[in-house]
């Protein structure tokens, strides 16, 4: 879950699987590290190797807007206020919904640039 480790793993993958065409990174930092490794090895991230990551950080959405990533799935850390408000209602004996949904966004080439302000 660190950029330098993502870069290191991508460098190893390039050596062992030179024909790699896709990467799923469990977080944005690892995906950004993969971009660095791909560029250093003469590959075009987002074109030669498709990259999808999870988090929704501003840096990853910027990379997506530049065409270096192909999708970013948000895992928004800003759910704290909703969680605490729900817990407060529960402990006060108030009715709460059976399901409390936290919504995340899907960033892609079509919405990355205009959604950049909402990325964390």
Supply the pLDDT for residue 77.
Answer: 79
What is the chain's pLDDT, residue by residue, as a tens digit (120 residues)?
999 999 999 999 999 999 999 999 999 999 999 999 999 999 999 999 999 999 999 999 999 999 999 999 998 878 889 999 999 999 999 999 999 888 889 999 999 999 988 888
How many other CB atoms sit within 10 Å of the CB of residue 15? 9
The total of structural domains in the chain comes to: 1
Give backbone dihedrals phi and psi of 85, rounded to 5 degrees, phi first.
-65, -40
DSSP character string of 12-61: HHHHH-TT--EEEESSHHHHHHHHHHHHHTT--BTTTBEEEEEE--HHHH
Residue 73 lies in a domain: yes
Residue 14 structural domain: 3-77+103-118
- The pTM of the full predicted model, rounded to 2 decimals, is 0.85
Residue 63 lies in a domain: yes
Residue 98 lies in a domain: no
Which CATH number goes with the domain that contains 33?
Answer: 3.40.50.2300
Q: Are 41 and 10 in contact (CB under 8 A)?
A: no
What whole-number distance in Å separates Cα of residue 7 and Cα of residue 34?
A: 5
Supply the pLDDT for residue 103.
Answer: 84
């Amino acid at each position: 879950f660190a950029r330098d480790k993502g870069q290191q793993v991508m460098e190893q993958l390039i050596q062992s699987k030179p024909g790699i065409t896709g990467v799923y990174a469990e977080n944005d930092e690892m995906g950004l590290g993969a971009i660095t490794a791909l560029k250093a090895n003469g590959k075009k991230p987002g074109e030669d190797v498709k990259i999808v990551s999870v988090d929704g950080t501003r840096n990853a959405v910027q990379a997506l807007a530049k065409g270096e990533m192909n999708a970013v799935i948000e895992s928004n850390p800003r759910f704290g206020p909703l969680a605490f408000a729900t817990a407060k209602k529960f402990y006060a004996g108030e009715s709460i919904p059976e399901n409390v949904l936290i919504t995340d966004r899907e960033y892609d080439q079509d919405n990355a640039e205009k959604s950049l302000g909402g990325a964390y």
